Structure 1
Amino acid sequence: MTRFGIAALVALLPVAAAAQGAPSFDCAKASNASERAVCKSPELAKADRELAGLYAALAAKLTGPAKESLEKSQIRWIVGRNRACRTNEDPDVIERCLTTRYADRIADLKASAAGPYPFVEDQAIEKTGKVGKVTYTLDLRYPRFAGNTADFSALNRAYADSAAKAAKETTPGVDAGVDREEQWEAMQSYALYRPGPDSITVALTFWAYTGGAHGYGSLTCALVDLHTGKPVPPSGVFAEGAPWLKEVTAIVGADLKKQFVENPGFEDALEPRKLTKTVNSAERFCWQSDRLQVYFNQYEVGPYSAGPYTVDIPYSRLKPLLRPGSLVAR
């Protein structure tokens, strides 16, 4: 895209709305399904105003390559939002798509503003087609770290390879064996969180339907050290020798036991030795700005119908266990 093209698009980026309750743009000029849906929904209009305010505040703080990177990322987000949330004319489907997109972007902007600008670029594998009787749609987004604070090549390659593998596994082959019309779908998105000025948490959400009774999905998190360009396991956050796994497992077990009263899970999943093994996985540690969220995907501690379970632990509760000057210290 030429610099003139970028400048022209940036001029159209949302600005704070004057009318209370309206989105950040003029609904009389709404030109696509996404914009029209935002204008019809007070919740989405509110999210749009919040996003516009966060973007404007961050843009005002940046200069040079950082500001140009932010402008390009916002343009990519708008283009991706409009493209992804128009594939189905069902208003409920469009609204769910937009709700997810706005929540992820708002989290990204908050994370980007909470420390040195991280230069995270949005990448995507997008594909539609039909093989035999199966129509399929892929919309797989993943991050690319473009900053110069570290060598991010291995991390970026891992995210790109993972997305490519997911695309391959959710694209029907000629031997799919489907004898009736089916619609396969695979979606992946990510949100960024800033537990500390020198770190970013990438929360990667995946969902797919490739036939059968229902779809399947997962959320995985990674804490990235912006000075090394590498993911950091929990042992790199907690103090050496601290009984962090025992303490976190105890907190998680007590919280899940309460959740199981209204949302029954697998009782045997709470057995201390089994739960310790389940908890001890870096991918379920979602380090956020004010808390650690421990995330359990469907089937891990409860039946599919129960959905995922989360346990939030404020950093104040973990403070005695944290490494001095750790990546989540504030």
Structure 2
Amino acid sequence: MLTRIALGFLMLLLAVPVAGAASFDCGKASTAFERAICEFPELSRQDEILAKAYATALGGLSKKATAIVQKGQREWLAFAERACTDDAQPQEEAYDQDDFNCLGQLFSNRIAWLEESRMRSGRRIYQVHRYLVIPDPDATEDSWNKVAVKEFSSPRIDGTDAEAVAFNAMMDKFTVKPGDFAGPADAEIDPDTDATTDNQIKVSVAEVTSRRVSLNINDWWYGHGAAHGNYTITYFHFLTQESRALVASDIFAGEAWKKPLKELVLAELNRTIEGGIWPESVDDIDEYVTETRRWNFSERGLIVQFQPYEVTAYAFGAPPVTIPWDALNQYLAASGNEIVYSY
């Protein structure tokens, strides 16, 4: 079940059943899934919030975008009814406490993803979702994870102008083949055939300016039987005027920036990580600092993102470092300042 492998998250569900508190008439609940929503107050409350989040997510969308979001909601309902079972089929018997906890996380995830559907700097953003539940062929009667659960979400711009068309085409490519933008670790994941791994990939809009749409890509996966899950945090920057992805030469001129950036990043990593980074990781910094999928921008400086296990132990998470623009201004390309500081 999903919550058995999700980053330590268990939703607190009250044990006193009530009726009629959900977003639908509980007197007409006919399936174990519907009865589960009605029987536990916290899950009923989540269902009401979900209904409001869904209605809000539809507000102001074009007819085409509305149809896409509606289709996603229908697919999510079918997914939620099967994701907390042992065979990826709708459950007939009453849900137990683990099942309720699993449903709680599904509802929480869905609400958060629907909340990404909103206006951002004059652009109407909405999310496209994909879901998959498949039996784990290696599962036994005693296995904790008997199904593989996969959730994917990526943004679209509701519009027909050149910017929206180009941006949406890139996002469509990402939806078809996870890993195109998120890095080598994700490219190994095939959501349609890998039945022994849970995956959750959320691509969300981090910032919208006059020059770029910056995306945050959170990719989490758990191989059944592993001690814990793993994840990556990466970025994708869409240049609105050029209708394409950002490349390093948009920010930095020539090649002279690479060595000083490596030295600055290495110094900051060693300053912020207790005991410093792994010595064997030093040579990899050359490659890491040039990858735009690791870059994010702040007023203070260039953020360079590292992943778990790359430079230090898993307990340190995915460490980012920020290099002040004052230390990098001399290396910026003519377009660099405009892209970085645009509003």
Q: TM-score range by the shorter chain?
A: 0.5 to 0.7
Q: How does 1:205-284 map to 2 (within 5 A)?
A: 205-226=219-240, 230-236=244-250, 238-241=251-254, 245-246=258-259, 248-261=261-274, 266-268=277-279, 271=282, 274-284=284-294
Matching of residue 139 in structure 1 with residue 150 in structure 2: yes
Quote how far apart the aligned CAs of 1:295 are.
Answer: 2.5
Report sequence identity in percent.
15
2:121 to 110, 114, 135: 114
User: Partner of 1:326 in structure 2?
Assistant: 339
Q: 1:51-77 deviations in whole A, cap 9, x for unaligned? A: 968984x866x3644873686488469
Matching of residue 190 in structure 1 with residue 202 in structure 2: yes
Superposition CA RMSD, Å? 4.9
Q: How does 1:29-68 map to 2 (within 5 A)?
A: 29=22, 39=42, 56=56, 62=60, 64-65=62-63, 68=66
Aligned length: 280
Instruction: For 1:186, give the aligned amino acid.
Output: D
1:308 to 307, 311, 318: 318
Larger radius of gyration: 2
The structure richer in helix per residue is: 1
Matching of residue 157 in structure 1 with residue 170 in structure 2: no
Q: How does 1:18-97 map to 2 (within 5 A)?
A: 28-29=21-22, 39=42, 56=56, 62=60, 64-65=62-63, 68=66, 72=70, 75=73, 79=77, 82-83=80-81, 86=84, 89-90=97-98
The answer (yes or no) to whether the contact 2:117–2:126 under 8 Å persists in 1 is no
User: TM-score normalised to the size of structure 1?
Assistant: 0.60
User: TM-score normalised to the size of structure 2?
Assistant: 0.58
The answer (yes or no) to whether the contact 1:34–1:85 under 8 Å persists in 2 is no
User: Partner of 1:129 in structure 2?
Assistant: 135
Quote how far apart the aligned CAs of 1:158 are.
Answer: 4.5
Between the aligned partners of 1:250 and 1:280, the Cα distance in structure 2 is 13
Instruction: For 2:122, give the aligned amino acid.
Output: G
User: Partner of 2:92 in structure 1?
Assistant: none
The answer (yes or no) to whether the contact 1:292–1:312 under 8 Å persists in 2 is yes
Task: Show structure 1 runs of 5+ residues with no match.
Answer: 1-25, 172-183
Residues 259 and 285 from structure 1, CA distance in 2 versus in 1: closer, same or farther, beyond 3 angstroms?
Answer: same
Instruction: For 1:281, give the aligned amino acid.
Output: E
